[in-house]
Amino acid sequence: MSAPASKWTLGALGIVLLLCFSALLASVWWQADTTAETRWYILVNLQLPLAITATVVGAALCVSGAALQVVLRNPLADPGIIGIASGASLMAALVLILMPEWMVSTLHYSMPLACFAGALLSTAVIYRLSTRLRGLNTAVILAGIAITTLTSAVMGWLYLFADAQSMRNLTFWVMGSLHQADGWILLWSAPLIAGSCLLIISKGKTLNYLYNGELTARSAGIDPTHESKVVLIACALAVGAAVAIAGSIAFLGLLVPHYVRLLMGFDNRVVLPASALCGGVMLLLVALFSDLLPYASLPVSMVTASLGGPLLLYALLKGQFK
Amino acid sequence: MNLPVKLENISLEQRLDNISVTITQPGITCLLGANGAGKSSLLLVLAGLIEPEQGKVHWGQTDVYATPLAVLSGHRCFVAQQHSIQFELTGRECLQFLSPCLSSDIPGELIRKLDIADLLDKPVSRMSGGELQRIMISRALLQVWPAIKSGNAIIVLDEPLQGVDIRHQTVLMQWLSALAKVGNQIIMSCHDINIANTFADTVLLAKAGQMLAYGPTRDVLTLSNLWLTFDCQFECLFKDEQRHFIPVRHATGF
């Protein structure tokens, strides 16, 4: 895609994102039998956090997925598949279950911190494995599956010891939800996600050099080790913050960048911002869809996995993943 | 015009053992040696891509490992022996994304000499080994294109002819000879002794991480040196005063 066409497409995606964001806020006015005062209350306290959560979480997961695929040189890398999100979820679950009662008031601060720690830890493990098993392209995915299996096992054990309320909270981390975030936790997480995403997007040109591995990048004047570490830490922060506010959301970080590349080419200067915008749009649509349903809100992972599973199978069958 | 590439007492992880050599004249220098002789490691070290455990590399007065990679990349390019692109990039995308200095169109001379016009819109997954190799050589040359034009480039190629058919091999080597004549330094490894004999100005023979011989092609490519390097006997045929090396078939095989 040519440079002017890319700019127009990114501009159009930005407008679509704004429209979806506005539609989600405006959906308050579709609800019958509510007073104007109630509508304003819902708008400020429920819909606005929901819209911000959907936008930043979608952007964080998709931009991280797009960057991880290049840095780990594996088109199947995704924060969920390679275990970053599950590392963050596990730490969140441990905090929920093991935190003494007198510390519950610190949950707003301790939860994002725990998620970052979990995400950073699993990212470090994945990075070490990917550098040690250089050339084994499937090793990263297998390592991610191992981490995810291990965290699932620990979560399973936690379920055994959890009380009823903790079990409900744990389910939120496993299934993902856009409705849990409140203003306080968003105040911490949204700027962090925005900063991390902007940092990753600013590395678009550098990531282009990594397409043919470290040697070509070094030859072109890039320090791939340093740049990979910067991008991985930014991804871990973005994913950690996303998990802190919305739990674990499957498939989004794999599929959105894949289809963005299919439609817009491989230039990371375009792929990264387009993935961020499309990710935001996708989760806003999920939130909007969920709002329109007359009964309880849908777990996000259920929707993304229902869409993502068949699309992934289709992409595999068409040979779009090597 | 070009500066000497000077290696002093280079040692690297049991792959290179105390190698010292100064490549002074601009031209084509060919590294020859058996598999595992240390050719690729030597090329990586002199290109400034793997810091040796011991020893120094200088390009003229420039201490290579004390200079930022971004500075070196302005006039040194490198083509690796293997390429692994996991995404469906086209030839054009490979050139555009992996070459920092590409600001406008791909130079027509590069497209013609490497015959890549038909490869620009072809995905790498559908290219043959030789086609991908030609794209990656183009990428490397594009990276230092202004330096090549001013005769200032150091072009390091690790087995660039691997997978490339004989016609493209000949055209490429003739073009590299022409680039060398205007002052560019071309240092490459290959397994074809006759290519080295025909096109190289100097030859470096390597064995088990050590340098056996370095000097003008005619002086270094001798039957005794080839025997020492490859543990394989050759005979030398003359045609139009040009030497041709042919391996002698051993009665019991090698």
Q: Does B100 touch chain A (CB under 8 A)?
A: yes
At residue A294, the pLDDT reads: 66
**pLDDT averaged over every residue in chain B:** 89
Helix (H) / strand (E) element for B28: namely strand B27-33
Q: Is residue B43 predicted with pLDDT exceeding 60?
A: yes
Point out the least confidently predicted range of A299-308, B22-31, B217-226: A299-308
Q: What phi, psi does B234 have (nearest 5°)?
A: -125, 155
The pLDDT of A61-66, averaged and rounded, is 95
- Inspect the interface and report whether the beta carbons of A219 and B78 lie closer than 8 Å: yes
Q: Would you tell me which residues 268-297 of chain A have a C-beta closer than 8 angstroms to some C-beta of chain B?
A: 268
Q: Which of B23, B19, B54, B7 is nearest to B155 (CA)?
A: B23
Contact B97 A73 (CB under 8 A): no
- pLDDT tens, position by position, B116-161: 999 999 999 899 999 999 999 999 999 999 999 999 899 999 999 9
Which structure tokens are listed for A2? 């040519």
Residue A41 maps to a domain:
yes
For the stretch B86-116, pLDDT in tens is 788 899 988 888 766 555 678 889 999 999 9
Look at residue A231 in the predicted model and tell me its pLDDT. 92
Picking from B84, B97, B125, the nearest residue to A208 by CB comes out as B97
Domain assignment present for residue A117? The answer is: yes
Q: Tokens 């394989």, residue? A: B232
pLDDT value for A135: 55
Tokens of A126: 């994945």
Question: How many domains, chain A?
Answer: 1
Identify the sign of the CA torsion A311, A313, A315, A318. negative
Least confident of A46-55, A238-247, B60-69, B191-200: A238-247
A297 pLDDT above the threshold of 70: no
Q: Is A114 within a domain?
A: yes
Q: Which amino acid is at B176?
A: L
Hey, where are the domains in chain B? 5-247
Q: Which two tokens stand for residue B47?
A: 């290109």
Residue A60 lies in a domain: yes
The class (CATH top level) of B5-247 is: alpha beta
Task: For residue A299, give the DSSP letter.
Answer: P
Range of the domain at A240: 3-317
Please give the full DSSP string across A214-266, using - where no structure is assigned: HHHHHHTT--HHHHHHHHHHHHHHHHHHHHHHH----SHHHHHHHHHHHHH-S
Regarding predicted confidence, which is higher, A127 or A14? A14
Among A96-105, A230-239, B186-195, the minimum mean pLDDT is found in: A96-105
As given in the structure block, the two tokens for residue B128 are: 């043959």
Percent of the residues in chain B that have a pLDDT greater than 70, as a whole number: 95
Query: Structure tokens of B223?
Result: 């039957």
pLDDT of amino acid A260: 92
Report CB contact under 8 Å: B84, A212.
Answer: yes
Which A residues in the span 173-202 are in contact with B, Cβ-Cβ below 8 Å? none
Residue A193 to residue A179: CA distance in whole angstroms: 18
Q: What is the pLDDT of residue B100?
A: 61
Are A220 and B88 a contacting pair at CB < 8 A?
Answer: no
pLDDT confidence of residue A91: 87
Of A212, A261, A322, the CB nearest to B98: A212
**Residue A321 structure tokens:** 């993943």
B107: phi then psi, degrees, rounded to nearest 5 = -55, 135
| Residue of chain A with shortest Cα separation from B126 | A322
Instruction: For residues A93-110, give the mean pLDDT.
Output: 76
Q: Are A320 and A264 in contact (CB under 8 A)?
A: no
d(CA A196, CA A278): 17
**Hey, are the CB atoms on A213 and B84 less than 8 Å from each other?**
yes
pLDDT of residue A160: 82
Which CATH number characterizes residue A114's domain? 1.10.3470.10
**What gap in Å lies between CA A125 and CA A151, rounded to an integer?**
13
**CB contact A316 to B (< 8 Å):** no
- Reply yes or no on whether the pLDDT at B84 is more than 90: no
Distance of alpha carbon B163 from the chain centroid: 14
pLDDT tens per residue across span A130-154 = 777 665 566 777 888 888 888 888 8
pLDDT tens digits along A202-241: 999 999 998 888 888 999 889 988 998 899 889 988 998 8
Query: pLDDT value at position A134?
Result: 62
- What is the predicted pLDDT for the residue at B46? 93
Distance from CA of B82 to the nearest CA of A (A): 10
pLDDT of B35 reads 92
Q: What dihedral do alpha carbons A177, A179, A181, A183 form, nearest 10°?
A: 160
Q: What is the DSSP string of B71-94?
A: HHTTTEEEE-S-----S--BHHHH
- What is the Cα–Cα distance from A186 to A55, expressed in whole angstroms? 12
Confidence bin at A196 (pLDDT 50/70/90): very high
Residue at A291 is within a domain: yes
Q: With 0-12 CB in 10 A as exposed, 13-18 as middle and 19+ as buried, what is A236?
A: buried
Question: Would you say the pTM of this structure is higher than 0.95?
Answer: no
> Of A137, A211, A320, which has the smallest distance from its Cβ to B98's Cβ?
A211
Q: Cβ separation of A212 and B96 shorter than 8 Å?
A: no
The predicted structure's pLDDT at residue B103: 55
Arithmetic mean of pLDDT, B152-180: 94
What sections of chain A are H helices per DSSP? 3-26, 36-42, 48-71, 84-98, 107-132, 137-161, 164-175, 183-202, 204-209, 213-219, 224-246, 252-264, 268-292, 300-317
DSSP string over A76-115: T--TTTTTHHHHHHHHHHHHHHHS-GGGGGGHHHHHHHHH
